[in-house]
A and B are shown apart, each in its own frame.
Chain A
Amino acid sequence: SQQGEEDPQALSIQEGENATMNCSYKTSINNLQWYRQNSGRGLVHLILIRSNEREKHSGRLRVTLDTSKKSSSLLITASRAADTASYFCATIAGGTSYGKLTFGQGTILTVHP
């Protein structure tokens, strides 16, 4: 079963615009992570936010977490064509010590030059 569900499933924007992807999950979490996957490649870890954090930044990435709503969002500012990829949220269940990540099905982001 999928713990995280992303919305939208696909997003198409122009270079320079911001991209926002949302993730909802079902059970309590230890942390929530976002990954990027370029076509035909492995996943790359972008950012991790812990359950006691509400917002985190990394370069052009901003992640928010609302544990009361069991939801998170990933904002990519000033998008570039190179940001074209699939983005996945993934969660580690609360109380877990060795981190079995459960993934959503991802958002396909296309950034047009």
Chain B
Amino acid sequence: DAGITQSPRHKVTETGTPVTLRCHQTENHRYMYWYRQDPGHGLRLIHYSYGVKDTDKGEVSDGYSVSRSKTEDFLLTLESATSSQTSVYFCAISESADYGYTFGSGTRLTVV
């Protein structure tokens, strides 16, 4: 998707290992979000950022941490991956509440 990229696109990791997903934007948007998408649950907000070094928890933040040291990058870290964190993770950006989000293509994470 134009202006926002996620890496990696796919990852398989073992239970207990740390994992970091990266979201990079070129739109200079202030707000960035991490969601996970699971069957039967739709998309749920994990963490979001409203500026450099300004982050807050979403609906399902347990087991996740984030960091934003630059406007363009928003990192999601699973400190010790569990099987329940197997999911598709989406990053999104927005200018404000009055505009739609732009989503990345997603990262499919499998924890075995």
Contacts and interface: CB of A to CB of B under 8 A. Distances in A.
Interface of A: 1-2, 30-31, 33, 35, 41-45, 48, 50, 88, 90, 92, 96-106
Contacts of B100: 33, 35, 45, 48
A96 B99 CA distance: 12
A90 B101 CA distance: 10
Contacts of A101: 33, 45, 92, 101
Contacts, number: 72
Interface stretch (B13-21, B36-44, B67-75, B79-87): B36-44
B103 A43 contact: yes
B96 A45 contact: no
B101 to A, nearest CB: 6
Given A45-B102, A98-B50, A100-B48, A105 B41 contact: yes
Given A42-B90, A105-B42, A99 B1 contact: no
The SS class assigned to the A binding surface is strand
* Number of chain B interface residues as a range: 20 to 34
Nearest 5 CB-CB pairings of A with B: A99-B97, A45-B100, A42-B103, A105-B42, A103-B43
8 contacts: A31-B98, A35-B101, A42-B105, A43-B103, A48-B100, A99-B99, A103-B35, A103-B42
